[in-house]
Amino acid sequence: MESFFVSTPIYYVNARPHLGHAYTTIVADSVNRLHRLQRRDTFLLTGTDEHGDKIVEAAEKNGLAPKEYADKISSLFKEAWPWLEVETSAFIRTTDPEHIECVQRFLTTVYEKGDIYFGEYGGHYCFGCERFYTDKELKNGFCPDHLEKPRYLQEKNYFFRMTDYLPALKEHIRNNPDFIQPERYRNEVLGMLGDELTDLCISRPKSRLTWGIELPFDSDYVTYVWFDALINYISALGWPQGQPFKKYWPGAYHLVAKDILKPHAVFWPTMLMSAGVDLYRGLRVHGYWTVQEAKMSKSLGNVVQPMEMAEKYGLAPFRYFLLREMQFGLDASFSEEGLVNRLNSDLANDLGNLCSRTLAMTNKYFQGLVPEMSALADEDQEVVDAGLTALDEYVRLFGDFQFSRGLSVLWGFIGRLNKYVDESAPWVLYKEGQTKRLQNVMYVLLEGLRKIALHLWPVMPSSSEELLRQLGTGFDLHAVDLDREGEHWSGLKPGVKVAKKSNLFPRRDLVLQQDHPPKNAEKKQKESDKSSLEGQVSFEDFQKLHMVTGKVLQADKVQGADKLLKLEVDIGEEEPRTIVAGLARHFEPGDMQGRQVVVLANLTPRKIRGVMSHGMVLAVHQGEDMALLTSTKDTQPGSRVS
C-alpha cells in the first residue's frame, strides 16, 4: 500500500492555539483524509516546540518552571485538535525523551562527519525570533517581525557547515520543480540561495540558556532551537531504524506558513544531506491570515480563537470557510461576516437546499425509498458526465493543495444539480405520470448527493457522515475507494430508505461581541421622544419576515382580472409556489418566465379571484412604472434575503 506522510510545524508553546495554528492543522488533516479515502496508508504528525529563550520568558511571567509551563500549553494544543475533528497519528513534544535521544544521535552523526565546528560569531540577535540577523536582513536597524532593535552579541558557539551543501540543494530544487510549492516560494528560496548565506549557528552557551537539549559533544552548550525542532519530523518516526521511518518518510510532505520558509527549505534539507538522510518529498507553504488587513498579533488584540468561532457558527462551516476562503499560498482576510456569508450562501442555500429538496421529493414520490435507475435520457446523462468530471477535478486540485479551487469546482456541480431540479421539474413528471423519467431524475440527484458527501469528508467529516446516513448508506472508510468513484454513478442501492428531511446547515446570523451599554442607557431610551418611534418596527419584527429569492417557472393571466398574474415560483422547496401578483399591467406573462424575484414566503395564504396565493412577489413602484425587486446576481432559489 502506498504511504503518505504530512506534518504541521510543531507549535511554539509561548501562546495558546489561534487561527493560524488551526488553519495549518485543519489543512493537514483534510489532505490526509483525502489520501485515506484513496486507500493510502497515511501518517499525520503535529506537536509542540518547547525549548528556547521565549519559553523561559513566558514561564517566568506565569510563575512556572519551563517544563511545567510547557506541559500546560502543550496540553491545550493536544486537546484542541480532536475538538476541531483533526485526527493525528502522533503528537510529539521536543521534551519527549525519545526526541531528545534522537536529536543527540543526529548531532553526533553530523559532528563525526566533520560538519560541526567551534567558532566565534558576532551579530544582531533578536530574542523574539531567537536568531541572529545580518545588517541586510534588518529593516532600518530593527527586526522585520518584532520591530524591535536586536542586541549585538558576540560569543563562541558551534556551527553547522551549511554552506557546503547549498550547491547540492540548489540543484535539487531546480531538478525537482514540485519540491517547494507554490511556485512563488520555490523562486524565493532560489533567490535566498543566491544570497551570501553563512554557516548555521546551532548552539547556545549554558551561561545564557540552559533550557534546551545538551550537545552530546560539549556539556557547556545546548542545541539551537531549529537544530532541535526540525528533527521532530524523523524522531517521531523512530529514525534511523524504526519501521515507521522506513515506511512513511519516502512519502513525506511538510506543511508550513511562509514565515518559517527558510528553516524548512534551507536549514532542514542541508541538515538531512549531512546526516545521510533522504530529503522529504515536498514542502507546501501557505500565507497569513489577516484581520482587518493586519497580521494577527496579541499586541493588536486581533487574535482569532478557533474554538470560539467553531462554537458560534458550527465546526463544519468553520473548517469549510478556512479551506474555501484562502487561496493556498496567498494571504487571506478573516472576518466573521465572511464566515457567516459562506455558511448561509454555500452551505445553507446551495448544499442545504439541495439536500432538503431531494429528500423531501424522494419521500413524496417514492415513499422515501431510493428508486431504480434505467437508461438515462441525454439531459440526465449530461448531468452525470458533468458530475464525474467535476469530482475528478476536485480530487486532483485538493490533492495538489489547491483547496479553494477544488471546492469551487465542487460547488459548481452543486449549482448544476440545483439547476437540474428546476429543469427536470420532478413535480411535473409526477403529475404527468412519467414514472421512469422521475425515477432516473431522483436517482441522479440522490447519487450526486452521495458522491458530494463522500468527497466533502476531508473538509467536514461529521457533517458528511451525517448526510451519508440520511441517504441510507452510512460511512465506512475501509469500504471507500475514491479513485473508483469516478468510474460509476451507481453507489446507492435501490430500495434503501432515506431520511424524511435534512437540516445540516441551518442559517446563522452574525454574532458580534457587543460593548457594554453605557450606564442609564435603558432609562434614557425610555425617556426618549415616544413620538419618534411611531411607524417603526423592531429588528425582531423584521426578522419574522421570511424573504427569499425565487425563479418564475410559469406565468399566466388570471381570468377576469386585468391586474393579476398567476405565477409558479421555485423558492427551493420540493414543489413551486403558486403566487398571485398584481403585475399584469406592467409585465406580460412571457416577460416573467425565468425571471429572478424576491418572495415574501411566510405571508398567510389567501384566495384571490379563486386562486390560492402562497406568498407575495416584491416590487418597487416608481410613478406609473413598476420594477421587480431582485438581486444583482443569480442566486439559488430559496436564498434568504436579509
Establish whether 614 is a catalytic residue.
no
Report strand pairing: 282-286 vs 180-181.
parallel
Which among 78, 172, 295, 586 is annotated as catalytic? Answer: 295
β pairing state of 3-7 and 619-622: unpaired
51, 54, 143, 286: the catalytic one is: 143
For residue 208, CA distances in Å to 13, 44, 121, 212, 224 come to 20, 35, 15, 11, 12
CB 42 within 8 A of CB 32: yes
CA 642 to CA 548: how far, in whole Å? 9
What CA–CA distance (Å, rounded) separates 570 from 599?
10
Candidate list 21, 35, 54, 455, residue with the active-site label: 21
355 catalytic residue (yes or no): no
Question: In angstroms, rounded to a whole number, what is the distance separating the alpha carbons of residues 374 and 384?
Answer: 13
Name the H helices within 252-370.
Answer: 261-262, 268-275, 306-313, 315-325, 336-342, 353-366
Contact (CB, 8 A) for 454 and 468: yes
**Given the DSSP bridges, would you call strands 640-641 and 625-628 parallel, antiparallel or unpaired?**
unpaired
21 catalytic residue (yes or no) = yes
User: What cell does 30 get?
Assistant: 483534510
Which residue among the candidates 78, 146, 206, 312 is catalytic per the annotation? 146
Evaluate the CA torsion angle 449, 454, 457, 462 in order and state its sign: positive
Site of grid cell 434503501: 496
Residue with cell 517566568: 60
Does residue 18 have an active-site annotation? Answer: yes
Residue 146 known to be catalytic: yes
State the cell numbers at 224. 539551537
Q: Which residues contact 352 (CB under 8 A, 6 or more apart)?
A: 502, 503, 504, 505, 506
Radius of gyration of the chain (CA): 30
Catalytic residue among 129, 201, 355, 451: 129
- N-terminal to C-terminal alpha carbon distance within the chain: 51
Sign of CA dihedral 27, 33, 37, 43: positive
Q: How far apart are CA 510 and CA 531, in angstroms?
A: 31
Which backbone phi and psi does 457 adopt, to 5 degrees?
A: -55, -40
Q: Using the structure block, give the residue that is written with the C-alpha cell 549554558.
A: 206
Give the C-alpha separation, 237 to 255, whole Å. 17
| 3-class secondary structure, 435 | helix
Q: In the structure grid, which three cell numbers stand for residue 155, read together?
A: 560569543
Residue 412, H or E segment: helix 403-424
- Longest alpha-carbon distance in the chain: 102
Among residues 85, 5, 9, which one has the least CA distance to residue 285? 9
Question: Measured between alpha carbons, how far is 247 from 42 in angstroms, rounded to an integer?
Answer: 10
Strand, coil or helix: 378 = helix
Give the helix ranges, DSSP H, for 544-612: 589-592
Is 258 part of the annotated catalytic residue set? no
Q: What is the 8-class DSSP label of residue 554?
A: E
Active site residue 298: yes
Q: Which of 113, 149, 156, 298 is catalytic?
A: 298
Question: Which residue in the list 54, 124, 126, 201 is annotated as catalytic?
Answer: 126
What span, in angstroms and rounded, lies between the C-alpha atoms of 505 and 523? 40
**Nearest partner of 224 among 90, 129, 305, 152, judged by Cα:** 129
Q: What residues act catalytically?
A: 18, 21, 126, 129, 143, 146, 295, 298
